[in-house]
Structure 1
Amino acid sequence: MKKINNIRKIMQRLENTLDDASSEIGVTITACIQNNTPVKTGNLKRSIIFAKAKEGKTYNIRFGSDLVYATKVEFENKSYLRYTLRNEEGQIKEILLKNLKKVGM
């Protein structure tokens, strides 16, 4: 019975750690995307947000803007969103590893 309780505690710590890591990734990468966003009025840059969700055992982080012209800027001009996500892959991995070390992984 003790082993089962320990496994549950470890699983809970892991879930909490992954939740914390996804929040840190969201905040960090949102700032990076905003830094790479082209600025005319600043509305697009300020509208960039992230949302995180857990679906089963999968954690998702979505980045974007609800402004109508955000897609046009992304695909017709210099890509700011895809460019940042490609370039910050290493930073995302570092954040995950840093947080997983807290759980002993």
Structure 2
Amino acid sequence: MTAPSFEKFLFLSVDLTAFEETDLLGTGMAHKCLARVRAACGDEVVTALLEAHRAARDDAAADAGSHARARSTGICSTGRCATGSSATNGSARWPAM
């Protein structure tokens, strides 16, 4: 299995945290953050999450409401993601930068 893509992780982080890409890169912690997520979840889960996010972003290009729907149903419907009130605030469970 190929390691999860840092670029895809960065795109997901932008959507989950609402920080700009430059802000996330500017901290110097983005690579460490991906390493923490990989260590906690494993490459298979992280890769599946990143691919679901990419698919949601692709769908959003055609339908403005589809990205939000895909995030709430497609990405977190696998049972591998946190659920509950903190799951709606992605930054609450996302590694601190």
Q: Structure 1 length normalisation: TM-score? A: 0.29
Higher helix share: 2
Larger CA Rg, structure 1 vs 2 = 1
